[in-house]
């Protein structure tokens, strides 16, 4: 009986670790896609001034929410769109915000998503390329 119970507990623990890895991978992919979206819209900076956004020359900025529980992007001083992370996933970055410019370049930064002892990174380089590690 004890052997069967220990096998069941071991199997359940492995399944939970695998589920955490999938959840973290899913959130990392979402973050990368959202960064790509903001990069793409930054190429249309003239559209922002037509919509009434101030300071369109800065390009869209991608920032973290206080406490590392989500992120948002803004144009000038207006927040455009915001996303929350699940409670047990935390995000941090080596910069306060990432700016995407009309020419496709960006401020380089590394976003780190963590869930327990697991981590994934989304890296934005100076020329605007986005990759997951």
Question: What domains lie within the chain, and their CATH numbers?
Answer: 2-132 (3.55.40.10)
The average pLDDT across 13-36 equals: 84
Cβ partners under 8 Å of residue 112, min gap 6 = 91, 92, 93, 119, 120, 121
Per-residue pLDDT band at 69 (split at 50, 70, 90): very high
- pLDDT for 72 equals 93
Instruction: Reply yes or no on whether the pLDDT at 112 is more than 90.
Output: yes
Query: Which token pair is 127?
Result: 């020329």
- pLDDT for 47 equals 60
Quote the pTM value.
Answer: 0.78
- pLDDT for 56 equals 46
């Amino acid at each position: 009986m004890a052997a069967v119970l220990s096998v069941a507990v071991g199997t359940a623990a492995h399944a939970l670790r695998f589920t955490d890895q999938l959840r973290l991978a899913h959130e990392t992919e979402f973050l990368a896609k959202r960064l790509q979206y903001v990069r793409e819209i930054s190429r249309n900076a003239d559209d922002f001034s037509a919509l009434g956004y101030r300071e369109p020359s800065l390009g869209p900025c991608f920032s973290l929410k206080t406490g590392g529980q989500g992120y948002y992007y803004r144009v000038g001083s207006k927040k455009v769109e915001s996303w929350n992370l699940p409670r047990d996933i935390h995000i941090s970055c080596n910069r306060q915000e990432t700016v995407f410019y009309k020419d496709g370049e960006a401020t380089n930064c590394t976003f780190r998503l963590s869930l327990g002892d697991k981590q994934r990174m989304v890296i934005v380089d100076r020329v605007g390329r986005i990759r997951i590690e």
